[in-house]
Amino acid sequence: MTDHRSAPDPYPTGRVPEDELGRVPEWLRQPAPEVAPGRADRLRIALGGHSGKLLGGVLVLVLLAFFGLVGGLGYQGFQRWRGPAAEHPTVSLPVGEQASSSASPPPAAGPFDGTPAAGFPEGAAGIALPRAKRTGPFTDKQVADTLTRVRKALVTARLDRTFFTAKDPERLVRQFAPDARADLRDDFPTGEAGTYATRLAPGARLTADQPRVKGRVSYRATKDSQGIRLLEVTTNFVWAYAFPTASTEPGDGVVVVHDTVVWSVAHPDDVDRSSAGLWIDKADSYASNIDCAAFDKGLLALGKPSFGGPADPDPEAVFDPDKTVDLPDTC
């Protein structure tokens, strides 16, 4: 840090010897009283009292040249900065089409930023299958085939944009056992299919962003009430969808669906061929930030943000697959 305090006088008892600074010009000894020294002269005199022979002369010449070239403009600017700001005149804008230069806008923020879904995998990458191994009467190949069927059905039901807006649900229904299909078709007009499948409401659309997915898959061998041997697969996933919104608040354009679905495949030796294949035994779900009227019909659309009310779910909890799906209804 520069110290601006005065240095002690090295010659306290007298003036500086002439042999240190050189002979002092006569005009400095006896300045003409009728001509007051100018700003540059005063600066030169001040420098002359604190410099050596060569350095003093060079600095005086450099500073005199500098102030001679820019002193007028620079000094006026300095005085302007010190004084009160004056209004600067403007020009009239020309008539017609115009374009102005501007800085590049910052990268657009993602719709999931500021929510737990920002850290979720994108799309089908979030559906990880456990290792297939022999379980009860089911071989490792039968287990692997069943897990693959369940994953394919999940991708269609919750991630396939063509299915979301298709006129009929056959893209998903045909993946199930023939005997299971009639009941599944009935689920769509009643809205029951919303517990395991995503369908967009008329006019609703998603952004180009991949849905974010987090959850898990487990399986076990069991039997139903009739003694039929089953390979039961339980899926528990949170699906986060991004809808266009003018809001800049984090999560305002995000609809979250959390579902738990129990899928099953009967042992081929225990059922007719028409019943062999994939079934849904149970499905539960909730959704947040939704259009309630559409959701009652099993359709998905962005609603008004409803977090924060006394009966509303914890905003963090709705993104957590480990939390219960049994949450208060905010519709």
Contact 299, 201 (CB under 8 A): yes
Residues 307-316 have a mean pLDDT of 55
The pLDDT value given to residue 313: 54
**Residue holding tokens 């374009």?**
99
> How far is the C-alpha of 47 from the C-alpha of 49, rounded, in Å?
5
The predicted-structure confidence for 207-218, as pLDDT tens digits, reads as follows: 999 999 999 999
Structure tokens at 96: 């017609």
CA distances from 309 to 306, 317, 330 (A): 7, 14, 9
Residue 58's pLDDT is: 41
**pLDDT value, residue 325:** 85
Beta-bridge mates of residue 254: 242
Strand, helix or coil at 46?
helix
Of residues 200 and 9, more confidently modeled? 200
Phi and psi torsions of 190, nearest 5°? -85, -10
What count of other Cβ atoms lies within 10 Å of the Cβ of residue 279?
Answer: 19
With tokens 């991630």, the residue in question is: 159
**Side-chain half-sphere exposure of 126, counting CA atoms within 13 A:** 24
The CB-side HSE value for 186 (13 A sphere, CA atoms) comes to 4
Which range has highest mean pLDDT (41-55, 96-110, 286-300)? 286-300
* Rounded CA separation 169/318 (Å): 27
Q: What is the pLDDT of residue 23?
A: 52
Cα distance between residue 123 and residue 241, in whole Å: 10
In this predicted structure, the answer to whether residue 177 has a pLDDT above a threshold of 60 is yes
To the question of pTM greater than 0.75 for the whole model, the response is no
E strand residue ranges, the chain = 212-223, 229-242, 254-266, 278-288
pLDDT averaged over the chain?
A: 77
Q: List, in sequence order, every beta strand (DSSP E) within 34-193.
A: none
Nearest to 256 by CA among 202, 192, 306, 308: 306
Are the beta carbons of 197 and 173 closer than 8 angstroms? no
CA–CA separation, 126 and 283 (whole Å): 20
Residue that the structure tokens 């009929």 belong to: 168
Select the more confidently predicted residue: 279 or 41.
Answer: 279
Torsion of CA 10, 13, 16, 19, to 10 degrees: -100
DSSP 8-state code for residue 208: S
Structure tokens at 122: 């994108």
Lowest mean pLDDT among 41-45, 56-60, 308-312: 41-45
Amino acid in position 250:
P
Give 194's pLDDT tier (boundaries 50, 70, 90). very high
Residues 126/212, Cβ–Cβ less than 8 Å? yes
Question: To the nearest 10°, the Cα dihedral for 186, 192, 195, 197?
Answer: 40
Where is average pLDDT lowest: 76-80, 141-145, 153-157, 242-246?
76-80
CA–CA gap between residue 22 and residue 53 (Å, rounded)? 6
Residue type, 154: L
